[in-house]
Amino acid sequence: MKWSNVLAIIIVALVFLSIGYYAGQLNNHTIQAPQKIVVTDDLGRNVTIYLPIKRVVSMDPSNTQMMYAIGAGNLLVADTSYDWWPAQAKSLPKVEMDNGTASVEEVVSYNPNLVLATTIQSTQIIDQLESLGIPVLVLEPNNISGIYRDMYLLGNITGHKTGAINEVNYMKSYIGNITSKIANLPRLRVLYMLWPDPIYTAGNNTFINNIITTAGGINVAANLTGPWPIINNETVLQDNPQVILVDNDTGISNISYFKNNPVWENISAVQNNRVYIFNQTESNWMNEPGPLTIYAVRMVAQFLYPQVFNET
């Protein structure tokens, strides 16, 4: 009887010990499991991300550029056929896009643990990817400080915090150098033309408006509603822009488009030959919020104040 009591105690003790051991194992295991963090993207969505981030698919050139700029470009496993900067981005595998929208299967086949997208992607695709357990960050800054915020965010989650800080500081000093040169100069009225007929332009709460304002311009369309409003040509006549910026996609190749038109030929920018038609690269700078935005600011400032920038 005594022996069996001892045996029973030993068995109970072993059972407890083993439970304790396994519990300890379980505990160790949870520590080793991927770390979960919740971040907020540019749509205000709370996105749960699993660290460390190893494989990233970028569905927009601006997002690709931000990744490379902060030094996290090596995490990208695929990007889009629209990517052009930096050179490495062109040689990455591509996710096929139908009308700018990626195919979910294609994205999943790269086995990413983070997808970067803009609002060009339909919400169905974002929902579908998230239901498959792939977090999607929508990064679409609508001003320059938004770019800084997104770079810090990417830096934090990819472990390239210093890279992000360095890049943001570089951009800030680059832009600060431009704005200090034009600080005391008169502001000029600017019309940005995304499409000529109807005249689609950039409204107040857009990235392009922010570039124009930073470079010393006053966007004549800033009081219209919506991000990409149509501006009526009689409003343009009244606002009488001093500089017109023309997107490459308009297909307008030279100023004669404006010179031979009874309405346009009366506008200050046309009379003074201050119509600037972007080439493809310049249009990209203007339309892709990211590290290259500083070149867009410099370009617009040069168009607006050639006297300042030709001296130096």
Partner 1 sequence: MKPKFLILFSLLILLILNILFSISIGPVRIPFDSVTSTIFYYFMGDPYNRIYMLIIFYIRMPRVFLAVLIGAVLAISGLITQTIFRNPLGDPYLTGIASGAALGASIGFLISPFVVEPLAFAFAMLAVFITFIISRVDGEFSPEIMILAGIAVSFLFSALASYLIYLKEVNLRGVLFWLLGGLYGANWNDVFYLTIASLILFPLILYFVPEFDLMLMGDEQAKSMGVDTKRVKLITLLSSSIVTSFAVSMVGIIGFIGLVSPHIGRKIIGESHRFLLPASILIGANLLLASDTIARSNPGGEIPVGIITSFVGAPLLIYLLIRRRFFDRGN
Q: Which of residues 5-64 bind partner 1 (CB under 8 A)?
A: none
Which amino acid type is present at position 260? N
- Size, binding site for partner 1 by CB under 8 A: 28
**256 sits near partner 1 (criterion: CB under 8 A):** no
Phi-psi region of 111 (alpha: psi -120 to 50; beta: other; left: phi over 0): left
Nearest Cα to Cα of residue 190 among 174, 162, 214? 214
For partner 1, the closer CB: 131 or 238: 238
**194 sits near partner 1 (criterion: CB under 8 A):** yes
Name which position in 107, 199, 215, 275 contacts partner 1 (CB under 8 A).
199
For partner 1, the closer CB: 77 or 222: 222
Measured from the CB of residue 55, what is the shortest distance to partner 1 in angstroms?
A: 27
List all residues 6 or more positions away from 86 whose beta carbon is below 8 Å from its beta carbon: 65, 68, 73
**Do residues 222 and 206 touch, judged by C-beta distance below 8 A?**
no
Name which position in 88, 122, 156, 233 contacts partner 1 (CB under 8 A).
233
Measured from the CB of residue 23, what is the shortest distance to partner 1 in angstroms?
A: 58
Give CA–CA dist 217/233, Å, rounded.
Answer: 20
Phi-psi region of 99 (alpha: psi -120 to 50; beta: other; left: phi over 0): left
**220 sits near partner 1 (criterion: CB under 8 A):** no
Give CA–CA dist 182/160, Å, rounded.
Answer: 34
Measured from the CB of residue 282, what is the shortest distance to partner 1 in angstroms?
A: 17
Measured from the CB of residue 170, what is the shortest distance to partner 1 in angstroms?
A: 33
Q: Which of residues 94-153 bind partner 1 (CB under 8 A)?
A: 98-100
> Token digits for 52?
């460390």
**Do residues 142 and 204 touch, judged by C-beta distance below 8 A?**
no
Name which position in 225, 256, 310, 312 contacts partner 1 (CB under 8 A).
225
Q: Select from 13-21, 27-35, 40-48, 193-201 the region that touches partner 1 (CB under 8 A).
A: 193-201
**311 sits near partner 1 (criterion: CB under 8 A):** no
Give CA–CA dist 251/53, Å, rounded.
Answer: 41
**Do residues 274 and 243 touch, judged by C-beta distance below 8 A?**
yes
**260 sits near partner 1 (criterion: CB under 8 A):** no
Q: Select from 28-36, 51-59, 108-116, 260-268 the region that touches partner 1 (CB under 8 A).
A: 260-268
Give CA–CA dist 69/52, Å, rounded.
Answer: 19
Measured from the CB of residue 254, what is the shortest distance to partner 1 in angstroms?
A: 14
Name which position in 133, 176, 198, 306 contacts partner 1 (CB under 8 A).
198
For partner 1, the closer CB: 76 or 193: 193
Strands 76-78 and 56-58 turn out to be parallel
Count CA within 13 A, CB hemisphere, residue 119. Answer: 9
**221 sits near partner 1 (criterion: CB under 8 A):** yes
Give CA–CA dist 22/145, Å, rounded.
Answer: 50
For partner 1, the closer CB: 108 or 230: 230
**241 sits near partner 1 (criterion: CB under 8 A):** no
Name which position in 127, 251, 254, 272 contacts partner 1 (CB under 8 A).
251
Give CA–CA dist 139/147, Å, rounded.
Answer: 9
Q: Containing H/E element for 100?
A: none
Q: Which residues bind partner 1 (CB under 8 A)?
A: 98-100, 194-195, 197-200, 203, 221, 224-226, 229-235, 237-238, 249, 251, 262-263, 266
